[in-house]
Structure 1
Amino acid sequence: MNEFGFLSASLSVFFQTGVDEYNEPIIKSATYRNLANNVTAQQLHTVALAIVGLTDYSYIESVKTQKESVTA
């Protein structure tokens, strides 16, 4: 039976830094690598809010990206 094997994970935090001349939002992101395999969604959300809380910007969303291999 095939299984997934954890390789790596990262967290991208998106926030709005202002608006451009057309009044469209300016979106920036920061990516943090080397997440633990067993991190929960609540833990990631808490960390993302804490990171954005250190800035003057508005939080938009956070995205977890995970790479896995398929074993034979």
Structure 2
Amino acid sequence: MALRISSMHDTKAFLDAKGIPTTGSFSFGGLTAVFIRDPDGNVIELDEFRGDEAEQGRDGAVDWEGYSNHP
């Protein structure tokens, strides 16, 4: 599951305050993502899009070159 967030800084502060560990992260283009796991071990991806990238993808035209896998 992937969720769009508005602020990676605020999200990381929230996760730290709640003691929720991250299991990985990556950045490319205007996307920064961090991964957490729910209590059942499912991966949750939290995505922040910056600049022009924030609107990209609404029509499905995202260049995913460079995206490999998640933790």
TM-score (norm 2): 0.27
Greater strand share, structure number: 1
Larger radius of gyration: 1
Q: TM-score, normalised by structure 1?
A: 0.27
Structure scoring higher RCO (CA < 8 A, sep ≥ 6) equals 1
